[in-house]
Chains A and B, each alone.
Chain A
Amino acid sequence: MSLLFHLFLPHSSNNYKAKTLHVSSLSALMLLVMVSQILITIFSRAVPGVLGIATSITVQELIDLTNSKRQEQGLPALAVNQTLVQVAQQKAADMIAKNYWAHTSPDGLTPWTFFKSANYKYLYAGENLARDFSDSTSVVNAWMNSSTHRENIVSNRYREIGIAVIHDTFQGQPTTLVVQMFGTQVSSAPVVAQKQVTKTVGQITEAAEAVLAEIQAPPLPVIDSFSLTKAVSISLTLILLTVMVIDAVVITRKRIVRLSGKAWAHLVFLGILLLVIIGIQPGLIL
């Protein structure tokens, strides 16, 4: 009991400041956060089935959601084109193979290079990218909230779509990459035969094909590392906020004078920190 008083209440034993709020305790907590993050990273790599990213993104859901957004705008649904699917897969594999997150690769390959290499003769073409989202709805919503991505989804120029969803280790952590390719072919000729499609430019496919060959759907982890980090961060911030409020109340009531920072400022900082941590959602779009 006295230990709890010592840790969480201003008391003569802790120089009238809860031990949890002492600089030494805050430093220890920070160290704990760092160590836990390192352990999560190591553990998620060592045992991917237990700790990792949990995602339920599927190609079909993304296509349905995209077409649903188009239909809301009175636009025709996009048809799935297998060549565009392959273009999307090649692009995703290229990003993993060359470790970049951009529309243009470090060696200067633009999205249009992938269209050309797959022999997709386009009149119009577009690309949306996303990573680290947990479900298909979040991906499409994030795209719809960005004017440039939304423009691709609800453009009346496009007739066809191809999507790749790839799970792999990307830039040092387990990731789900989503590549969405849009296009309208120059002619209304039927889609080129699968045999022709696979005959692509070596520069693009050599590394990318190796990645594609290795890629397997990962086991769904028992614990999502993002959710775990979020839960730990929220708990820690809530504990500090609670101790800070109790500390401020006791100090004010007992009229204790001590050398310390402003309790209200700490509460504002921790309060905003808590709101930001609660509000953060996984996923990046490009």
Chain B
Amino acid sequence: MSYLILVLVLGGLGGAYLYWPAYRLGLSLALGLSYFLWGVLVHKNQLHWQIVLEYFSLALLGVSLLIFMGLRA
């Protein structure tokens, strides 16, 4: 169930990113933040700073790529 939510949220935000170019900056941040929060919530019972950092760094890398792509497009 949690994976379905993740796919729907990220897929929806990804689609919106492609469809509404004017909101790419906000949607990039929303996509990264959603992924990070999903990771934190899913691991809430065994949350460790290493796991938090892992989700954070991956989300930040994704956001950076999307922001730069949006700026170049």
Residues in A lying within 8 Å of B, measured CB to CB = 23, 26-27, 29-30, 33-34, 37, 132, 173, 225-226, 229-230, 233, 236-237, 259-262, 264-266, 268-270, 272-273, 275-277, 279-284
Besides A266-B58, A272-B7, A281-B73, 10 other A-B contacts (C-beta < 8 A): A26-B61, A30-B60, A30-B64, A233-B65, A260-B51, A261-B43, A269-B35, A272-B14, A280-B17, A280-B69
Nearest-neighbour CB distance to chain B for A172, whole angstroms, equals 9
Nearest-neighbour CB distance to chain B for A236, whole angstroms, equals 7
A-B residue pair count with CB separations less than 8 angstroms: 101
Name the residue in B3, B22, B73 with the highest tally of chain A Cβ atoms < 10 Å from its Cβ. Answer: B73
Chain B residue with minimal CB distance to A236?
Answer: B65
Nearest-neighbour CB distance to chain A for B15, whole angstroms, equals 8
The contact sample of 9 A-B pairs, CB cut-off 8 A, is A26-B58, A33-B65, A33-B68, A37-B68, A237-B65, A260-B51, A265-B35, A269-B6, A283-B73
Nearest-neighbour CB distance to chain A for B69, whole angstroms, equals 5
List, in ascending order, chain B residues with CB within 8 A of A280's CB. Answer: 17-18, 69-70, 73
A268 contacts B68, CB within 8 Å? no
Nearest-neighbour CB distance to chain A for B71, whole angstroms, equals 8
Residues 33-73 of B at the A interface (beta carbon under 8 Å): 35, 38-39, 42-43, 48, 50-51, 53-55, 57-62, 64-66, 68-73
B60 contacts A259, CB within 8 Å? no
A23 contacts B54, CB within 8 Å? yes
Whether A279 touches B38, Cβ cut-off 8 Å, given contacts A259-B48, A265-B6, A268-B10, is no
B64 contacts A260, CB within 8 Å? no
- Residues of B in contact (CB 8 Å), total 36
List, in ascending order, chain A residues with CB within 8 A of B17's CB. Answer: 276, 280
List, in ascending order, chain A residues with CB within 8 A of B39's CB. Answer: 261-262, 265
Chain A residue with minimal CB distance to B35?
Answer: A269
Chain A residue with minimal CB distance to B43?
Answer: A261
List, in ascending order, chain A residues with CB within 8 A of B61's CB. Answer: 26, 29-30, 33
Whether A282 touches B73, Cβ cut-off 8 Å, given contacts A261-B39, A277-B65, is yes
Nearest-neighbour CB distance to chain A for B4, whole angstroms, equals 10
A229 and B18 alpha carbons, distance in the complex (Å): 16
A268 contacts B60, CB within 8 Å? no
Nearest-neighbour CB distance to chain B for A174, whole angstroms, equals 11
A237 and B64 alpha carbons, distance in the complex (Å): 12
List, in ascending order, chain A residues with CB within 8 A of B18's CB. Answer: 276, 279-280
A280 and B68 alpha carbons, distance in the complex (Å): 12
Chain A residue with minimal CB distance to B46?
Answer: A259
B72 contacts A229, CB within 8 Å? yes
List, in ascending order, chain B residues with CB within 8 A of A233's CB. Answer: 65, 68-69
List, in ascending order, chain B residues with CB within 8 A of A259's CB. Answer: 48, 50-51
Nearest-neighbour CB distance to chain A for B34, whole angstroms, equals 9
A261 contacts B68, CB within 8 Å? no
B43 contacts A26, CB within 8 Å? no
A273 contacts B62, CB within 8 Å? yes
A286 and B64 alpha carbons, distance in the complex (Å): 26
A256 and B63 alpha carbons, distance in the complex (Å): 30
B50 contacts A269, CB within 8 Å? no
Nearest-neighbour CB distance to chain A for B17, whole angstroms, equals 6
Q: For A261, give its contact among B21, B54, B60, B66 (CB under 8 Å).
A: B54
A33 and B69 alpha carbons, distance in the complex (Å): 11
